[in-house]
Amino acid sequence: MAVRSLDPVVPLAVARLDGGGRLLDAEPLLRALNDRAGGEIGAPLALPGIAAIAQIAYRLGISLSRSVVAADGDAELDLWVRAGPDRGGVRLEVSGWRPRSAWRPSGEAGRDADFLRATGDWFWETDSALRLTFLSPEVGDRYGFDLGEMLGQPLTRLFALAQDAAGALPILTAVSAKARFDGQPAEVRGTGQMVQLDAMPRSDPTGRFVGFLGAARLLDPEAPAPHPATGTGQAPAFPHGFGRRLERALRGPLARIIAHADSIGGQAEGPIRGDYASYAADIADAGRHLLGLVEDLVDLQAIERPDFAIAAETIDLADVARRAAALLRIRGSEGDVRIEAPAADATLRVRGEFRRALQVLVNLIGNAVRYSPSGARVWVRLERTAEMGCVIVADQGKGIAPADQPRIFEKFGRVDPSEPGGSGLGLYIARRLARAMGGDVMVDSALGAGARFIFRLPLAGE
């Protein structure tokens, strides 16, 4: 790679583009990177992230800075790009030039950014003069203004700032200190919608303050309405958008942890001590457990929304059952558990949503495999009544006492929390999904006699 990451002087490469985004000239470092990406002088810039920033700067007539990850062959570079209008085109200053490692612990700034992504309903960025340089795309549609016209405007053009409970404006202190702020109340101008603003400062590779990365969290001035399914009048278990934000903040880091732990455990880079390989496998398993919990929480928030709805369609429940069994077959073989799926020519036409029906059956078969002893079998069978099509998942586990059976369908409900298992949300979500499709999930079990879970959906009309 042409860039030396240990050079004590941060390299800076300057380039100029015309109004159409074509590269007019560039200093050698940037020109070489553009050439390796398939570009050339006189052609559009071949580095998409940099080109996008240049386009915004040209269209809005403002200078802005942002970090960019650029591909360089099989490697990636962390760059800091500053773009601004210049003689009818755009002047670029590209610095940083640090090779991006496949995994690196996130420092304080990275962790703060993850917290912002997990707590905000939408996001914004400013330059050092507090002019907006980015807004989440859905904001314009939500509040009825042109996103392009808002970019380049002062932050206060979008937000009418208000005093907090202590009578202060947190953003004022943060601006003078170029520091993080939290809990700044504001109104989205002209909408009456109150939000809470949180933000962290951004710096370029030389440590110079270049603006804020911020989040806006909706504040509902009225008490939440009772959930139609419970009628309790209590606030939802999670704030608006919690599951989506949690998934966005955690899925990427967890996926990297799992991938790298699997690589270490599989000794892809060469042999390592057996106990280290075992530790890596444990890390990967823990990562999968956490990722599964995140996915359960996302589903939980979705199904508890008042406007949650199922896309009803005619599906072949026998085909769904075969697909779910196939997805769990490797997990079953690892535990020496055999899954017997419906016959290949069996059909059972019902009304439901394919994706959600598959989710229910993956949960039921996965539980059966998890709680089955080595050498056992899990049966996946079909039945039909006058109005319902059923899939029965039966196992040879230790069974569930009648007194404990209602508890397993409760939110976070588990019979024995000391046993290895999931989050205690899977069966709660499965039953809610089944009932949303006009069906149900039921259990028939006794201690020492295994368990039978019955997933029912309405038969499709002929």
The superfamily CATH assigns to domain 108-219 is PAS domain (3.30.450.20)
- Greatest alpha-carbon pair distance for the chain in Å reads 82
Q: Does 108-219 match 12-99 at the fold level?
A: yes
Q: Which is higher by pLDDT, 153 or 299?
A: 153
Which pLDDT does position 262 carry in this prediction? Answer: 75
Q: 54: which 2 tokens? A: 């240049």
Q: What's the pLDDT at 383?
A: 93
Q: Is the confidence at residue 221, as pLDDT, over 60?
A: no
Average confidence score pLDDT of the chain: 79
Average pLDDT over residues 429-441: 90
What is the rounded CA–CA span in Å between residue 255 and residue 251?
6
Q: How far is it, in rounded angstroms, from Cα 174 to Cα 33?
A: 37
pLDDT of residue 133: 84
The mean pLDDT value for 261-285 works out to: 73
Q: Which residue has the higher pLDDT, 312 or 43?
A: 43
Q: Name which residue leads in pLDDT, 412 or 447.
A: 447
Contact 203, 280 (CB under 8 A): no
Instruction: Output the 3-class SS for 139-202.
Output: HHHHHCCCHHHHCCCEHHHHEEECCCCCCCCHHHHHHHHCCCEEEEEEEECCCCEEEEEEEEEE
pLDDT at site 3: 40
Residue found by looking up tokens 């386009």 in the block: 55
At residue 420 the predicted structure's pLDDT band, cuts being 50, 70 and 90, is low
Give pLDDT, residue 149: 79
pLDDT digits (tens, 9 = 90+) for 175-219: 888 888 888 999 988 888 889 999 888 887 677 888 898 888 888
Domain range list for the chain:
12-99, 108-219, 242-303, 313-458
> What pLDDT does residue 379 have?
92
Fold (CATH) for 313-458: Heat Shock Protein 90 (3.30.565)
Angle formed at CA 9 by CA 4 and CA 11, multiple of 5 degrees: 65
Per cent of the chain over pLDDT 90 is 20
pLDDT for residue 227 is more than 70: no
- Residue 101 CB-half CA count within 13 A: 6
> pLDDT tier at 289 (50, 70, 90 boundaries)?
low
Mean pLDDT in residue range 43-72: 83
Q: What angle do CA 98, 28, 33 make, to 5 degrees?
A: 50
Is pLDDT larger for residue 348 or for residue 209?
A: 348
Q: How far apart are CA 57 and CA 66, in angstroms?
A: 11
- Reply yes or no on whether the pLDDT at 234 is more than 60: no
Homologous superfamily of domain range 12-99: PAS domain (3.30.450.20)
Check pLDDT > 80 for residue 82. Answer: yes
Is the pLDDT at 108 greater than 90? The verdict is no
Mean pLDDT, residues 355-384 taken together:
90
The total number of residues written for the chain in this structure: 462
Considering only residues 249 and 400, tell me which one the structure prediction assigns the higher pLDDT: 400
Above 80 in pLDDT, residue 295?
no
Q: Give residue-wise pLDDT tens across range 130-160.
A: 888 888 877 776 777 777 778 888 899 899 9
Structure confidence at residue 250 as a pLDDT band (50, 70, 90) = low
Alpha carbon distance 262, 268 (integer Å):
9
Higher pLDDT, 231 or 274: 274
**What percent of the chain clears pLDDT 70, i.e. is strictly above it?**
77
Total H helices, total E strands in the chain: 12, 18
End-to-end CA distance of the chain: 65
The residue among 279 and 389 whose pLDDT is bigger is: 389
